[in-house]
A and B are shown apart, each in its own frame.
Chain A
Amino acid sequence: EKVGEEKPEVLSPEELEKLKEEVDERKKLISTLRGKPWPMRKKLESHEFVEKYEGALGKGKSRKLYAYKVMMLKKWMKFQRDFENFKTACVPWEMKIKEIESKYVSYLFLLYPCTVLLVLPGCLLFFNLAEKALMGRPYGSMPRKTVPRADEANAMDFAVLWDFGGYAQYSVLFYGYYNSQRAIGWLKFRMPLSYFLVGVGTVAYSYMVVIRTMARNANEDGGGDNNSFNFSWKMFTSWDYLIGNPETADNKFASITTSFKEAILEEQESRKDDNIHLTRFLRVLANFLVLCCLAGSGYLIYFVVRRSQKFALEGLESHSWWERNEVNMVMSLLGMFCPMLFDVISALENYHPRIALQWQLGRIFALFLGNLYTFIIALMDEINLKREEEEVLKLNMTIWEASLYNGTLGVNSTAPPITVHPADIPRGPCWETMVGQEFVRLIVSDTMTTYITLLIGDFLRAVLVRFLNYCWCWDLEAGFPSYSEFDVSGNVLGLIFNQGMIWMGAFYAPCLPALNVLRLHVSMYLQCWAVMCCNVPQERVFKASGSNNFYMAMLLVILFLSTLPAIYTIVTIPPSFDCGPFSGKSRMFDVIQETLESDFPAWFGKVFSYASNPGLVLPFLLLMVLAIYYLQSTSKSYKQANLELKKKLQTVSRTINKVLTLIQHLLYSLFMSSYLSSPLGGEHRAHQGKSNHQIPPSATSPPAPRGHRIPGPLPGNQWQPAPSVQRVPNSQRH
């Protein structure tokens, strides 16, 4: 296709047109060049061809526009390339992750939560700053923003701040700080409305991101069976081309060998029943033990929370540090030790490693969920307590106000308002801030536990093993305790739960996602360091599922379960009367009602009230349920159809091959008979006539028919003549 001749200076219009077409074709080809296996030389040739003739086409006054278009296109493509490079450079910690990936199996999944998390604090921070910037009242101007007089003395103490009391309590960090004034400043920024919408919006956005990722993963998965090409996949796809470290390479070789041996064993081990009753009994026993563990941990947490409420009533100062932080410590410790217990119990069950891993993850999941929900139920009790306090306080407020005027006023007379410093006004117990505080404390203690476990469990252990090994009786590095393995699934689970807690607490502590981003940064560096210096790769490298959908499904469930409590509290519990953006309303979502009534035209309100009529909403929900059912059954039937087609394809191609072989035999025998009967071949081959019948039928079918199916030109792909045809002249020569 190379145009060899030199183009003349002046081209006739038809030739110009033809050239233009060719150049356009080449350009189309170039855009798909990436996917073609041509050597670089050929690709460059196409490029050169286009460049050479584009210039020619640009000459002449009517072509000026064309040349301009071409130039703009080139600039645009360059811009796109630069932008792609910029985007890749922006992915945080790209180099670090590549480094780790070369040592461990892919860690890329963890980037997903990171991207989600980065958006959340963005939104929440935004309206935070809006409150400040748009002439929101600063600290000290309102009662809800000021530390009460009684607490002022120790508001700056580190211990109090660490507990998120004192100044921290009355800061942007928590719900109680925000003003409930409907519109702030000259922009008429609707604070309560925006708080509500941002809260709901971030949840909706999280759902969308998770589901979109799941759908994308499911698409890549392809439909159908995961086990049909077991051995082939093991052979061709098990090597990880990113490995650059000799230790990892050795481990990878060993794990590949092990996985092959496992597969061979499974293949050889035909229907061996092997005392299935014993196995079943052991499995039931194991599940029973696990249930006992879960129940025990649930009860322990409930007990501890009750005790901490008792302590709170008695005043926190009279107790030791442990007693004050009991709840969080107990939850973190349970989270550390119970999974190990589950691991030991699962040895009873004798499952395939992948299934055992899924059970293990499921149990840890149940453990965390149980703990979290017990915690929330205990929190509900506290909320109710605080609300009772509030009622009492409201009564006291009237008495206090009256005392301010020293009884000089009658009931209905007006008087100049007495200025009282905001710090002196008695404050209602703000249950929302209390909830936010509890969550923040929980996350902080969780973080601390993780870091300490990391330092002790990984770093200290590695140091001990390395240095004590010289003077110890058995080999510490090979036997117990040896270096700790990097547990990918455990860490991913930890991340998922962390995210769940953030979702739960975000409505009541708006800066929580921002804090979490900070914590993730620190975690990332700490883990990177620990992973590179103290950990060894897992011995058996396998994943919990074929795609990442297993973890995504877990994330989705956690998202659902963690937004449930927040939504419940929004809908049922009336907000505090003196703190937060919804103070004074009877329900938090009344803000929407208000907005509809005051900011939108009247007809809008009517339409909305029709649309939210239960008579309309219920049938709509029913319709959606039916649609889901329908879609699921069609997808199932498509999968079935797929499997059938695949089987048919196999039988059909085998049949075709047999037919082709038959035809070839036929043609060959026809050819031979015509060759023999012709005068040229007749006498020469007469004495060899017998050997004709002894020519064996071709053992392999000709590759010729299949040659067409190879897509794209493979360089060097010559049509190979069928070996059987070649064999014929050979045998004839003897």
Chain B
Amino acid sequence: MLHGRFHELAPHLVPLDYTNQPDIRLPLALIVSMPELKENPFRNRIVEVFSEDGQGNLSFNDFVDMFSALCETAPRELKTIYAFKIYDFNVDNFLCKEDLEKTLNRLTKGELTPEEVNLVCSKAMEEADLDGDSKLSFSDFENMISKAPDFLR
């Protein structure tokens, strides 16, 4: 079924027969047009995270990877790892203040004033940063998410 969806996105590019394992990659623009991702504010980041080159070009294997991680039955630890990568905009393995600000702006579509954005980001940093380096490492993030009551997706 997933293969059908993949094929639908670019019928002229994706062959129906995958036994030869052809190396076809679909560009980011095509993937984010899928209805499941269209409304998601982080759709670009999601596709970038699952692509091998980091630019958003997905092969079929990456495609399957992505949807299996987004699925409801995926284990919580897996989701935490991928969530961290998605929110890490500058790909330095830390969530620094700029990453938080970008996340917040995507979530609120720019409706908050800069002071409000600053306040929220500093509060969030203060809450979750355990080691006091004003960045969130993966362990800080994991510690915070594991306590969240409704980390459903």
Q: Which residues of A contact B151 (CB under 8 A)?
A: 237
Interface size class of A (residues with CB under 8 A): 35 or more
Q: Kindly provide the distance from the CB of A230 to the nearest chain B CB, expressed in whole angstroms.
A: 7
Contact partner, B124, options A36, A39, A235, A242, Cβ 8 Å: A235
Contact partner, B133, options A37, A256, A657, Cβ 8 Å: A657
Which of B41, B70, B100, B138 lies at the interface centre, i.e. has the most chain A CB atoms within 10 A of its CB? B138
A649 to B132 Cα, complex, angstroms: 12
Q: Which residues of A contact B109 (CB under 8 A)?
A: 253, 257
* Given the contacts A37-B78, A257-B111, A703-B94, A235 and B148 also touching, CB distance less than 8 Å: no
Q: Which residues of A contact B137 (CB under 8 A)?
A: 703, 706, 709-710
Q: Using CB atoms, name the residue of chain B closest to A718.
A: B93
Check: A472 CB closer than 8 A to any chain B CB: no
Interface 1/0s, chain A 696-734, versus B by CB < 8 A? 000011010010011110100100100000000000000
Contact partner, A239, options B42, B69, B142, Cβ 8 Å: B42
Contact indicator A649/B133 (Cβ below 8 Å)? no
Contact partner, A267, options B74, B111, B119, B138, Cβ 8 Å: B119
Q: Which residues of A contact B145 (CB under 8 A)?
A: 236-237
Q: List 29 A-B contacts (CB under 8 A).
A: A34-B74, A37-B85, A39-B65, A228-B127, A229-B144, A229-B148, A230-B127, A232-B127, A232-B144, A233-B148, A233-B149, A235-B120, A235-B124, A240-B153, A253-B109, A253-B111, A257-B112, A264-B119, A267-B123, A546-B150, A653-B131, A654-B131, A656-B131, A700-B135, A701-B131, A703-B137, A710-B93, A710-B138, A712-B81
Contact indicator A260/B123 (Cβ below 8 Å)? no
A650 to B140 Cα, complex, angstroms: 11
Q: Which residues of B contact A717 (CB under 8 A)?
A: 93
Check: A376 CB closer than 8 A to any chain B CB: no
Q: Which residues of B contact A239 (CB under 8 A)?
A: 40-42, 107
Contact indicator B131/A232 (Cβ below 8 Å)? no
Q: Using CB atoms, name the residue of chain A closest to B138.
A: A710
A657 to B94 Cα, complex, angstroms: 17
Contact indicator A221/B149 (Cβ below 8 Å)? yes
Q: Which residues of A contact B70 (CB under 8 A)?
A: 241
A240 to B36 Cα, complex, angstroms: 11
Check: B12 CB closer than 8 A to any chain A CB: no
* Given the contacts A221-B149, A244-B35, A710 and B139 also touching, CB distance less than 8 Å: yes
Check: A112 CB closer than 8 A to any chain B CB: no
Contact indicator B124/A657 (Cβ below 8 Å)? no
* Given the contacts A241-B40, A657-B133, A709 and B64 also touching, CB distance less than 8 Å: no
A86 to B79 Cα, complex, angstroms: 25
| Apart from A40-B61, A237-B151: 10 A-B pairs, beta carbons within 8 A | A34-B74, A36-B78, A106-B152, A241-B40, A253-B109, A264-B119, A654-B131, A703-B133, A706-B131, A709-B139
Q: Which residues of A contact B144 (CB under 8 A)?
A: 229, 232-233, 236
Q: Which residues of A contact B75 (CB under 8 A)?
A: 34-35
Of residues 240 through 267 on chain A, the ones whose CB sits less than 8 Å from some CB of chain B are 240-246, 248-249, 253, 256-257, 260-261, 263-264, 267
Q: Using CB atoms, name the residue of chain B closest to A710.
A: B138
Of residues 3 through 60 on chain A, the ones whose CB sits less than 8 Å from some CB of chain B are 34-37, 39-41, 44
Q: Using CB atoms, name the residue of chain A closest to B42.
A: A239
Contact indicator B78/A35 (Cβ below 8 Å)? yes
Q: Using CB atoms, name the residue of chain A closest to B74.
A: A34
* Given the contacts A230-B127, A714-B93, A260 and B120 also touching, CB distance less than 8 Å: yes
A649 to B130 Cα, complex, angstroms: 8
* Given the contacts A229-B148, A654-B131, A657-B133, A39 and B62 also touching, CB distance less than 8 Å: yes
Contact indicator B107/A39 (Cβ below 8 Å)? no
Chain B: interface residue total (CB-CB under 8 A): 62
Check: A224 CB closer than 8 A to any chain B CB: yes
* Given the contacts A39-B52, A245-B39, A260 and B112 also touching, CB distance less than 8 Å: yes
Q: Which residues of A contact B14 (CB under 8 A)?
A: none
A44 to B65 Cα, complex, angstroms: 12
* Given the contacts A106-B152, A256-B107, A236 and B39 also touching, CB distance less than 8 Å: no
Of residues 94 through 153 on chain B, the ones whose CB sits less than 8 Å from some CB of chain A are 94, 100, 103-104, 107-109, 111-112, 116, 119-120, 123-124, 127-128, 130-135, 137-139, 141-142, 144-153
Number of A-B residue pairs with CB-CB distance less than 8 Å in the complex they form: 162
Of residues 505 through 523 on chain A, the ones whose CB sits less than 8 Å from some CB of chain B are none
A709 to B94 Cα, complex, angstroms: 13
A265 to B69 Cα, complex, angstroms: 36
Q: Kindly provide the distance from the CB of A643 to the nearest chain B CB, expressed in whole angstroms.
A: 12
* Given the contacts A243-B39, A650-B130, A235 and B104 also touching, CB distance less than 8 Å: yes
Q: Kindly provide the distance from the CB of A475 to the nearest chain B CB, expressed in whole angstroms.
A: 23
Contact indicator B83/A236 (Cβ below 8 Å)? yes
Contact indicator A229/B150 (Cβ below 8 Å)? no
Contact indicator A232/B128 (Cβ below 8 Å)? yes
Q: Kindly provide the distance from the CB of B51 to the nearest chain A CB, expressed in whole angstroms.
A: 9
Interface 1/0s, chain B 60-96, versus A by CB < 8 A? 0110110001100011011001110101000011100
Interface 1/0s, chain B 29-48, versus A by CB < 8 A? 00000011011111000000
Contact indicator A34/B78 (Cβ below 8 Å)? yes
A245 to B38 Cα, complex, angstroms: 9
Interface 1/0s, chain A 464-500, versus B by CB < 8 A? 0000000000000000000000000000000000000
Check: A226 CB closer than 8 A to any chain B CB: yes
* Given the contacts A226-B149, A244-B39, A654-B132, A253 and B108 also touching, CB distance less than 8 Å: yes
Q: Which residues of A contact B108 (CB under 8 A)?
A: 253, 256-257, 260
Contact partner, A237, options B74, B100, B128, B148, Cβ 8 Å: B148
Q: Kindly provide the distance from the CB of B23 to the nearest chain A CB, expressed in whole angstroms.
A: 11
A9 to B85 Cα, complex, angstroms: 45
Shortest 6 CB-CB distances between A and B: which pairs?
Answer: A40-B61, A249-B39, A546-B149, A241-B153, A231-B124, A231-B123
Which of A36, A264, A656 lies at the interface centre, i.e. has the most chain B CB atoms within 10 A of its CB? A264
Interface 1/0s, chain A 445-465, versus B by CB < 8 A? 000000000000000000000
Q: Using CB atoms, name the residue of chain B closest to A656.
A: B131
A547 to B149 Cα, complex, angstroms: 7
Q: Which residues of B contact A253 (CB under 8 A)?
A: 41, 107-109, 111
* Given the contacts A40-B61, A231-B120, A256-B107, A244 and B127 also touching, CB distance less than 8 Å: no
Contact indicator B39/A246 (Cβ below 8 Å)? yes
Which of A224, A241, A547, A703 lies at the interface centre, i.e. has the most chain B CB atoms within 10 A of its CB? A241
Contact indicator A714/B39 (Cβ below 8 Å)? no
Q: Which residues of B contact A669 (CB under 8 A)?
A: none
A260 to B117 Cα, complex, angstroms: 9
Interface 1/0s, chain B 5-29, versus A by CB < 8 A? 0000000000000000000000000
Contact indicator A657/B131 (Cβ below 8 Å)? yes
Contact partner, A261, options B40, B116, B132, B134, Cβ 8 Å: B116
Contact indicator A264/B131 (Cβ below 8 Å)? no
Q: Kindly provide the distance from the CB of A716 to the nearest chain B CB, expressed in whole angstroms.
A: 8
Q: Which residues of A contact B130 (CB under 8 A)?
A: 649-650, 653-654
A707 to B152 Cα, complex, angstroms: 28
Check: A238 CB closer than 8 A to any chain B CB: yes
Q: Which residues of B contact A546 (CB under 8 A)?
A: 149-150
Of residues 118 through 171 on chain A, the ones whose CB sits less than 8 Å from some CB of chain B are none
Q: Which residues of B contact A256 (CB under 8 A)?
A: 107-108
Q: Which residues of B contact A233 (CB under 8 A)?
A: 144, 148-149
Check: A315 CB closer than 8 A to any chain B CB: no
Check: A222 CB closer than 8 A to any chain B CB: yes
A233 to B83 Cα, complex, angstroms: 13
A710 to B97 Cα, complex, angstroms: 20
* Given the contacts A653-B130, A654-B132, A235 and B81 also touching, CB distance less than 8 Å: no
A309 to B132 Cα, complex, angstroms: 74
Of residues 632 through 663 on chain A, the ones whose CB sits less than 8 Å from some CB of chain B are 649-650, 653-654, 656-657
Q: Which residues of B contact A241 (CB under 8 A)?
A: 40, 70, 153
A347 to B124 Cα, complex, angstroms: 32
A703 to B140 Cα, complex, angstroms: 13
Q: Which residues of B contact A34 (CB under 8 A)?
A: 74-75, 78
Q: Which residues of A contact B152 (CB under 8 A)?
A: 106, 240
